[in-house]
Structure 1
């Protein structure tokens, strides 16, 4: 089965919707315009709509023709990145410092396409729940929806998500059963030194010297403390200090991220970060404040539901374009938080392009929209078959 015929009929409309979202990107918890459009379209298709979860989240509920009691959830994220776009597209971002550089505009659009198709056909028994989530990019949108009672108000038996992939061949669908994407923590380390004149550093306790030593020491955690058979990443991505050529500053801030695939590895790294900071503070007779925040859980795909997702994808893109992948991704995705509560699976869908996501020159291929919508719709029809 190729792209579902009904979805193919309104492929141009999906492109128009996606490009409109692209022109008007909104970052986490500010997706007021985006969520308003989503709610309006769902209502227009006769879908029961609920708003206000996690401030800007939207949930649609649709019952099929049959009387089944099972519920399947589909989820898409809506937020953009806080960065400038450099694509020169005619529909480029109109909002400075805001860019759909990760493809969430396509995720939202594909879920809308699936929702419209299912509303028009209702060829399933049970209930479909369409979850439009805000603030995926490190701001805790999934956790906030859960805190607001997402699955208490809209119980799901299983749930599915999707992400575009410009580094895969067009229409290639991949799912990694089990641990698929890394959990993540962010950290901010503030070194409270003593400032001085730049020509008299002996009067200081130089936070830049201490920060330099600490950055080097932090790099030893993965290589010397994490077991060699485990995968982990610790990256210092920001160093901030100083304001003048002739002043030794009194503070320096180091920030970065930790990625892991086991909670015990995360706990080990957190412990070592704090231990190294405590040791540096004692050695240099200063204080160091450590702020470690777990942002994403490890994304765990249910093996059986991963195969069900692949089976649905085969009917749309063909068996030759579907694979059970073996490699884990060190990127993170807060759909993992939903998968800790409800079993499900998360797939990637390839599209034309050579520029990776989170790059100012990233361009999404609109040809993927009806494909993704069809896969999402088909998994509902198959899992809620009469």
Structure 2
């Protein structure tokens, strides 16, 4: 029993390290913070590697891991094959890295029995976010005068621009808000519930301070809908009153027009910039190349078709799926992932941190996602596909053994 418990602790620790590895770069602000990020990530990758080697001697790979590995290999191999046929641009290093990351994420989600430890995972993510915030303040990545603002020194120097916002920062604190929200609904202790409510509002505020419009607005939307769904009317009214009071107090000290997020929201009336162009071009590609809509044209076909570099992708997860795999396979993938999500929801009785992270990542994927770079989205997307497959396989096996 002790051995089993120790094994679960190992896998859970590895899952935390995995999440750390795929999210820590999001919070880079100052040059000093970047040094800390790189060192911490290197140490975490080393820890993951050692943990993986140790896990090989502790347990065998389950049939669930076999399903996830099969889905991952099939997904990328077929997309790669179509790309070779139709001349799409491919970065093999990025593709292999993505495959390894997605498999590691799925392997740990299954092995750590995340269904049981979602609340524990949420607590650790909140602690992680608080530590990141403290380090950010200490390294001058967040200053409070004359108004609270993130200083994106590293990005400004690296890309020779005046970086005023960061999608990564807004996303990270969006995930943090969801982690805190998932714990509010489980608390009977009034003090803990109030503390978590304050943390949700703090993380949402930090997400907006990150300056990325869609990332912060989506975080607010998903968090709000979840709390409305899971809490009572009285509890939601209390949170709303607290939010309104907070906004009123802040308005006495700051003009909202001074914050970059509101300045960027104001210019939305002029369109979404390059995203509008990329979306219209993606639709144009599918209209002009109906064969892509039928059977797909593989990874990087969009870039090849419009003579774009590999890092200029459609910026829409579903549209890219359609271009790469075609409508029939895309429909199967989406429906299977949805089925796995609903099965996960049915077995656990609620949508908590894993479900919330997936929903938020999916929203992000609809406005800026890529199949090869959206690591969290693809990890959860493949996880729910394989979860659906393994659940139905288990039902079939159990039925046949009766």
Which TM-score bucket, shorter chain as reference?
under 0.3
Whose relative contact order is higher, 1 or 2, with alpha carbons under 8 Å and at least 6 apart?
Answer: 1
- Normalised to the residue count of structure 1, the TM-score between the two structures is 0.26
Q: Which structure has the larger Rg over C-alpha atoms?
A: 1
Q: Which structure features the higher share of helix residues?
A: 2
- Normalised to the residue count of structure 2, the TM-score between the two structures is 0.25
